[in-house]
Amino acid sequence: FRNSVRQNACVEMLRGGFHRSFSELFSLLQRWKEIRLAAGPGSAIWQHKSLEEQPAKLHTLRHYLTKAETALRAGAWSAVYDQQVFLAQYFAEPEDRWLSCHFYQTSLNSARRVKIDGGRKEAEALANMGQVYMEQGQLDSAREQYECFYKLTAGRAWRSEGGRSLHCQACEGLWRVYTQLADRPLQANDYRAAIDMLSKAFQMAKEAGDHRIEGEAAYRVGLAYQCVGDQVTAKRFLNMYMEMSTALGDAGGLGKAYKAIAKSLESEGKLSETVQYLEKFAEVSQGNNQYHNLEEACMCLGVIFNSRGQYERGCTYFERGYEIARDLEEVPLLQRAQ
């Protein structure tokens, strides 16, 4: 009762001869103080309790750190890895993410020492670190981790506890990374570089065998080709997206595909076909109560019919767009329709 929980935990570790665990716990407590001071008063972390004020977390750290050290002494690196991964998953709350990151990193170091599983634990640890870097916005680091994960799982039949292929998981991770990396050149209007990165994302999505993400990847590639004026290639990818959305029963995706294909056809001057796809866009939007999309389709059709001198049909669509905007009670849409 005289001593703090922190002091008791440290004394227990030292009495048991767990000097490595004591050093790690002590350094983690110091690191939290440094992070808190660096953030300063008024920051979110400043309002949170320290680890020293949370006995359950301190006891959990002591228990699993000492278990890991016991396994380390026996040369059981697989058991060391398991304890570190447990701690990484235990500290899942937003204020503890720095601890989770620390243990995922140490688990990767331990996984590389495991020699009897063909590299499976290393692959799992790489996937975990890739996810950590993605959450932190460190896309280049995430890409490096996921590419190593991909190479380790190629040709392997490894599956997660849920029965999912680890190689497919690696492909999906790379799809996410490449897609986000493409945002940089897109923002800089460097569409060729964006197309290269999005094409890699498409290949990874295709290899993952998930039609949902494959369709989304094809859609993004199609939009990028639209930006460089290559409407033929754009339509090829957009048609893939349309077919996959149809097969999946994804009405939202189907509407996006119709809209994008209509834009390519309009750029090519094929107004009759453009109208057909915009009408399909309107139909699928109405059938699924997607009123914002329906309003947009009506306005686009109104503009096209008006530009072709078919004023009565154009007015019909404009009036319909006005009614939808009025029902949505959104002033900018209503003013545009008016």
Quick one: which of 221, 269, 212 has its CA closest to 244? 212
- Domain assignment of residue 210, yes or no: yes
Q: What is the pLDDT of residue 43?
A: 77
List pLDDT tens digits, range 25-60: 889 988 888 888 887 887 777 778 888 888 899 899
C-alpha–C-alpha distance, residues 175 and 88, integer Å: 25
Residue 180 has pLDDT above 70, yes or no: yes
C-alpha–C-alpha distance, residues 221 and 210, integer Å: 17
How many structural domains compose the chain?
1
Dihedral of alpha carbons 298, 302, 304, 305, sign: positive
> Hey, is 165 helix, strand or coil?
strand
- Give the list of residues 6+ apart from residue 286 with CB closer than 8 angstroms, or none: 294
Domain that holds residue 222: 164-248
- Domain assignment of residue 207, yes or no: yes
Say which range, 37-46, 79-88, 108-117, 199-208, has the weakest mean pLDDT.
37-46
What is the pLDDT confidence band of residue 7, given thresholds at 50, 70 and 90? confident
State what percent of residues in the chain have pLDDT above 70.
Answer: 100
C-alpha–C-alpha distance, residues 298 and 145, integer Å: 46
Residue 1 has pLDDT above 70, yes or no: no
List pLDDT tens digits, range 260-309: 999 999 999 999 999 999 999 999 998 888 899 999 999 999 999 998 89
C-alpha–C-alpha distance, residues 13 and 169, integer Å: 39
- Domain assignment of residue 238, yes or no: yes
C-alpha–C-alpha distance, residues 316 and 51, integer Å: 66
CB 60 within 8 A of CB 90: yes
Tokens of 54: 């949370």
CATH of the domain at 220: 1.25.40.10
- Domain assignment of residue 281, yes or no: no
List pLDDT tens digits, range 97-144: 999 999 999 999 999 999 888 999 999 999 999 999 999 999 999 999
- Domain assignment of residue 58, yes or no: no
Beta-bridge mates of residue 165: 159
Residue 77 has pLDDT above 90, yes or no: yes
C-alpha–C-alpha distance, residues 93 and 97, integer Å: 6
- Domain assignment of residue 193, yes or no: yes
Chain mean position to CA 20: 36
Dihedral of alpha carbons 284, 287, 292, 294, sign: positive
- Domain assignment of residue 200, yes or no: yes
What is the pLDDT confidence band of residue 95, given thresholds at 50, 70 and 90? confident
Task: List strand residue ranges (DSSP E) for the chain, in order.
Answer: none
